[in-house]
A = this chain, B = another copy of it.
């Protein structure tokens, strides 16, 4: 019997901040699996800042959008997958999909942890934080660290790994609630509400010993603020530049610090350090179980809320990782 599915299409390329009318909910049936196929019921999907630039070109119009998800195999005619298998996949934004198995990654979730952590701390954002800080940022114990969007899915993991490594950690975020979470729960040294005043002055005051590693999720004024405080041979790991994603220009003027402080700025993606993956899984599982890495989730219910989740993420309305739960 076919599966009644709903999916989210991009129907217009957003100008500036995406709006609900840029997306459409479409109902369709997913047929029973053919020979060699599986049908997957998505359980959780992710919305992430990297999706915004894709809407300008890479994401096709009038088809289901792509995005990270975790689902359960509900029917299988592929010997590599059994009914009930939990699979990580890139086919978010839809309830059901059929697959020949390519691109599906079987997950053996630790029963002592909620499945949702595999969408953030033990998923792509956690791995991005781990490798970005340790491999790209070349973090050394006890260094001075600044991380932007420090209460977000990537930033909160970066900040806590830096603390585990004995660093002095300053984070920026966009609300007083998030400031409190960062200092009281995540245990960082100084949390800055960047909406409360000029970020440059706040970063200067918070970093009396300068900055050895800046983990950049923002670009623009945050990058300028960090550049002005970089110590000699400092590293800037560029994970994202959300300041420029929605069309507003985010010029940077302080780049001459690159010369004076011999700074290394490096953009990266997770595939740049796949050799760290097993170590990451092991470390992060331990840290989550022991409570040394804490997290927040903002979970909306139902695929019809995926556009709202994405727009809310762009506006910073999430606390921690923004997820959509499609089914239990």
A positions within 8 Å CB-CB of B? 53, 219, 223, 238-241, 244-245, 249-253, 255-269, 272
Contacts and interface: CB of A to CB of B under 8 A. Distances in A.
Which 4 residue pairs spanning A and B have beta carbons closest together? A251-B251, A258-B267, A265-B265, A259-B267
Contact of A255 (B219, B264, B269): B219
Given A53-B260, A260-B53, A241 B267 contact: no
A281 to B, nearest CB: 23
B244 A256 contact: yes
A201 to B, nearest CB: 19
How many copies of the chain does the oligomer comprise? 2
A15 to B, nearest CB: 17
A241 B255 contact: yes
A249 B251 CA distance: 11
A266 B265 contact: yes
A253 B255 contact: no
Contacts of A259: 238-241, 267-268
Given A244-B253, A264-B267, 17 more contacts: A240-B259, A241-B256, A241-B259, A245-B256, A249-B253, A250-B255, A252-B253, A258-B265, A258-B267, A260-B267, A261-B267, A262-B266, A262-B268, A263-B266, A263-B267, A264-B266, A265-B265
16 contacts: A53-B260, A219-B255, A238-B255, A238-B258, A241-B259, A250-B255, A251-B251, A252-B252, A259-B267, A259-B268, A261-B267, A262-B267, A262-B268, A263-B267, A264-B264, A264-B266
